[in-house]
Amino acid sequence: MSAILRNRHRRSVKEKAVANLKNVVPGIGVCAAIAVPCWFLGEALPVVGGPVFAILAGMAIALVWKQPARGTVQDGIAFTAKKVLQYAVILLGNEGNVRSHLQELKAS
């Protein structure tokens, strides 16, 4: 009996994950559509950098595209703003540590 309940629970967890993914993907696409051109602008103007262009683009878009009108993409934007940005900052912070460790390994 408990095996049947466990299987139902597993299916419900998988179904929830798939449903959550379906809710998040459109917003991640919107964020990527903003990030890619900003990255190219940052490559063209390295003094300013891609993150500055992305912040300015996000501020300009937020002025025009208010929260209730975002509808289906809001969950993905929130996910990107919280989780993806946090992990990006962590990876960026660790990049310097990895480089310094690799340089120490080459030196020895």
Do 76 and 29 form a contact (C-beta atoms < 8 A)?
A: yes
**DSSP label of 108:** -
Give me the pLDDT at residue 72, please: 84
pLDDT digits (tens, 9 = 90+) for 20-65: 888 899 999 999 999 999 999 999 999 998 989 999 998 999 898 8
pLDDT of 19 strictly over 70: yes
DSSP-assigned states of every residue in 19-53:
HHHHHHHHHHHHHHHHHHHHHHHHHH-TTT-HHHH
